[in-house]
Amino acid sequence: MIEHLKQKYLEEAQDLLLELEKTLLLLEENPADAEGVEVAFRVMHTLKGSSGMFGYQQVSELVHLLENGYDTIRTNQQAVPLSLLALSLEAVDHIRLLLTESASENKGIQSTHRLLLKQAAELLYEMPVTPEMTVAAISSSRSMNTWAIYFAPQKEMLRNGSNPLYILEELAGLGSLRSFACTGKLPSFNQLDPQDCYLSWMLLLATEAPEGEIREAFLFVEELCELQIIQLGKGDQLQALDAAQSAEVAGKVALKLDAGLFNAYASELAAVITEHNKIPPANKAQKSPVQPPASVKEKSVSSIRVASDKLDDLMNLVSELVANQARLSLVAELNNTLPELAAVAEEIEKITRRLRDKTFDICLIPLGSLLTRFKRLVRDLSIELNKNIVFDAEGLETELDKNVIEQLSDCLIHVFRNSIDHGIEDEALRIQKGKNPQGHILLKAYNSGTNVVLEVQDDGAGIDAAKVRAKAFQKGLIREDQLLTEAEIFELLFAPGFSTASQVTEVSGRGVGMDVVRKKITELRGNVQLTSVKDKGTTIIISLPLSISIIDGLLVRIADTDFILPLTYVENSYAVTALDILNARNNQLILNGEPLVFFNLAETFESANSSSCFAVVTQVGRQRVALLVEEIVGEYQAVLKPLGSFCQRQDFISGASLMGDGTVALVLDPHKLLQEITKKITVDV
C-alpha cells in the first residue's frame, strides 16, 4: 500500500510541476498577473505539503523557499521579478530530477540543489516588502470563509506511511484552524497499538482558500479516510468561537453538516467545544435531528484518472472484438439458412463500430498537453542563442491517439530546434532585412478527414534551394546535370545525415534531424512535407492518422493473397487491361485522361500476369501513383498487428490483420511502396 501511495504522489507531483511550469511561462509574459501568482503559490503549497508527507524533504525545502517569495508578491500585489521566474523554472527542472530514485546519490544533483537553495534565499532577502501595500492587499484579497471539516483516518493510515498530523499542519498553513480530537474510539491502555490510528478530528478552518484547495491537503489519503467538508458561512467565524459563552457554534455546525455522517458526531463536537471554552453544562446545545442543508448538493465527478495500461488493455479488447465481429459477419454471409443471424451480425457490427469510436475518443489526448513543453523549449533556446522569438499555437483542442502524441513530441522538438537555430535570424539581421525584430513561430493543428494535420511555420530566413542543391551534389545524392523542381530539392533535406549548417552547435547542425522526423512520422503512418520561401520563412506540414491500432482500409487481392491499403491514401480506382499495361510508355498509364506512374504489385509478389486487373490511385503527400492489383474486394476495417520475423525484410509492409475466416492480410505501407517505385524507376532509367 505504501508503494501504491508513493507512486500516486509521484504522478500527482509531475502533474503539479507541469501546471507550475505552464503558469510560470505565462507569468513571464505578464509578471503582474495576480491570478497567475495565486495559481503558482497554490501549486507550490500543495507540492510542499505532499512532498514532506512522503519524505521528499529536499523538494519540500526548495519549494518552501519559493513559496515564501510568491506569498510576499501576492500579499504586496507586486509584479514577479524575472529573476525569480527564471530561478523557479530552473527549480522545476531540478525537482523533476529530485523525484528520481538515484537523486540522493548523484553528486551533480546535490550540488545543484545547494546552489538553488542559496540563490532562492538571496532572492528572498532582496525582495522588498511594503507595509502599506500589505494592508491594501489584505483588504482587497479573496473573501474569507469558515469551513467545518470531519476527518476520520482509517485505523491503518499510520502503517501505510501517512501521518494525519502533517495534514493538519498543511491546513493550518491555509488560514486559522481550530482542531478538536474525537477520542471515542481510543481503547484501554493495555490494548493500545502505537501503529494504529484511533483519533478522528472535527476541524474549523477560516481561510481565503476555495474548497478545492482545502481538498488538496487530503489528496494522497482520500482512500484512507472518511472526509466531509462543509462551508459554515462567510467571514472568520472562529473569532466568535473564541469569544463564545455558549455552544451556539456547535449547534450551527450540527445543523449545517451532512445528516447521514454527522448526526453521530454533532453532540461530541458540541461537548468538545463546550469543554474547550469552559461552557456551563446547562448552556449546551440540545442534539436534534440534522436535516441536510438545501445548498449542499451531491457533486458529480466530471473526470477520473485512469492508468495508461488500462486504456491499452481496453483498446486491445476492442481490437479483438472488431476482428471477431468480422468473423461473425462472414459466417452470417455464408449461412443463408438463418436470416436472424444476418440481422444480429449487422446490429453487432453497428455497435462494434460505435464502441470503437468511443474507445478512440477515450484514448485521444488534446495537443495542448504538449504546449508547455514546446513553450519552454522555445524560451530556453531563444535565451541560449540570444534571439527574440515569440511562440504561438492554434487548434490546441485537436486530439490525437495517446501513443501517437507521445512519439510526436520528439519530432516537433527537432522541427522547433531547426526553426530557432537555422530559420529565425537574430534581431540585428532581421532589422537589416526590414523585418520585425521579433521572430515568430506558429504551431497550427486541425482535423482533415480521418487525419490530424500539424503545421509549424516560422518567419525566418527560409531555405536557399540553390544551397541545398549544391550540398546534395557534394554529398553524391544527385547528378550535377539532374533536373529537379524546388519541391524535389526540398525533399533532399530529409536524406539521412543531410545538413546545410556551416558549423555544428549544441542545438543542431549534426545532420540528425529531418530524416529522423520523417522516419518516426512514417512509422506512425503519417507523412511530412516542407515548403519554404527565401527570406519569408519555412513551413513543415505533418499529417497523422487519429489512431494507429485500427484502420479503415481497401482490401485487395494479389496472387490469392489479401492485402490492405489504408483508405486515407486511396484516391480512386480504375479497371485496366493487359493491353493498357502493354501500351504504357515511360512506365505511365493514362487514367481519366491523366498520365500516372504505375507499379505492378503482382510482379512484386511473383504472380502470373492477369488478363485484366485494377489500378488503385494512391496519393502520398504531393506524389501520386497507380498500384496495379488483381482484384478489389472492398472496404475493410482492420486491426493492425505487428509483423513477425517472416515479413521483417519487406519494407513496404507495415503490419498484418487477422481476417474473419482466420487468414492473414498484410497491410501495405504507401510511403515505403513509393520509395520502392522510385528505386525501380531510377534503375530502369
Contact indicator for 667, 562 with CB cutoff of 8 Å:
no
Using a pLDDT cut of 70, give the percent of the chain over it.
80
Burial class (CB in 10 A: 0-12, 13-18, 19+), 87: buried
* For residues 264-285, average pLDDT: 45
For residues 516 and 536, membership in a common domain is answered with yes
Q: What is the dihedral of CA 601, 604, 606, 611, to 10 degrees?
A: 30
For residues 388 and 527, membership in a common domain is answered with yes
- 553-580 as b/e, with b when 16 or more CB fall inside 10 Å? bbbbbbeeebbbbbbbbbeebeebeeeb
For residues 556 and 537, membership in a common domain is answered with no
> What's the pLDDT band for 508 if we cut at 50, 70, 90?
low
Q: What is the number of domains present in the chain?
A: 4
Q: How far apart are CA 664 and CA 656, in angstroms?
A: 7
321 in any annotated domain: no
Distance of CA 221 to the CA centre of its chain: 25
* For residues 414-431, average pLDDT: 91
Q: Among 80-94, 306-320, 341-355, where is mean pLDDT lowest?
A: 306-320
CATH number at residue 5: 1.20.120.160
Tell me the one-letter amino acid at 462: G
Contact indicator for 558, 630 with CB cutoff of 8 Å:
yes
Neighbour tally for 210: CB within 10 Å: 11
357 in any annotated domain: no
pTM above the 0.75 mark? no
Q: Among 361-375, 530-544, 650-664, where is mean pLDDT lowest?
A: 650-664
Tell me the one-letter amino acid at 620: V
Neighbour tally for 251: CB within 10 Å: 19
For residues 112 and 45, membership in a common domain is answered with yes
Q: How far apart are CA 542 and CA 540, in angstroms?
A: 7
Evaluate if residue 342 carries a pLDDT over 50.
yes
Burial class (CB in 10 A: 0-12, 13-18, 19+), 208: middle
For residues 484 and 564, membership in a common domain is answered with no
User: What pLDDT was estimated at residue 679?
Assistant: 67
Evaluate if residue 326 carries a pLDDT over 70.
yes
Q: How far apart are CA 472 and CA 500, in angstroms?
A: 9
Specify the 3-state DSSP secondary structure of 545: strand
For residues 523 and 494, membership in a common domain is answered with yes
For residues 570 and 627, membership in a common domain is answered with yes
Using a pLDDT cut of 90, give the percent of the chain over it.
17
* For residues 308-330, average pLDDT: 81
Evaluate if residue 352 carries a pLDDT over 80.
yes
Q: How far apart are CA 312 and CA 357, in angstroms?
A: 15
CATH number at residue 183: 3.30.70
Burial class (CB in 10 A: 0-12, 13-18, 19+), 671: buried
* For residues 633-661, average pLDDT: 72
268 in any annotated domain: yes
82 in any annotated domain: yes
User: What pLDDT was estimated at residue 2?
Assistant: 60
Evaluate if residue 503 carries a pLDDT over 60.
no
342 in any annotated domain: no
Q: How far apart are CA 309 and CA 315, in angstroms?
A: 10
Which segment, 117-131, 160-174, 506-520, is predicted with the most confidence on average?
160-174
470 in any annotated domain: yes
DSSP secondary structure letter of residue 420: I
Specify the 3-state DSSP secondary structure of 396: coil
pLDDT in tens, 3-46: 777 788 888 889 899 999 999 999 998 999 999 999 999 899 88
290 in any annotated domain: no
Tell me the one-letter amino acid at 242: D
**Which one, of 213, 197, 210, 207, lies nearest residue 177 by Cα?**
207
* For residues 48-58, average pLDDT: 82
> Which of 223, 242, 273 is at the close of a domain?
273
> What's the pLDDT band for 621 if we cut at 50, 70, 90?
low
Q: What percent helix, strand, coil does the chain show, rounded to 5?
A: 50, 20, 30
User: What pLDDT was estimated at residue 513?
Assistant: 66
Tell me the pLDDT of the chain averaged across its residues. Answer: 79
For residues 612 and 516, membership in a common domain is answered with no
For residues 171 and 103, membership in a common domain is answered with no
User: What pLDDT was estimated at residue 248?
Assistant: 46
641 in any annotated domain: yes
Q: Domain of 581? A: 550-684
For residues 122 and 149, membership in a common domain is answered with no
User: What pLDDT was estimated at residue 299?
Assistant: 42
Neighbour tally for 256: CB within 10 Å: 18
Q: Among 287-301, 398-412, 448-462, where is mean pLDDT lowest?
A: 287-301
CATH number at residue 613: 2.40.50.180
> Which of 273, 298, 314 is at the close of a domain?
273
> Which of 215, 248, 273 is at the close of a domain?
273
Element (H, E) at 79: none
For residues 642 and 529, membership in a common domain is answered with no
For residues 521 and 556, membership in a common domain is answered with no
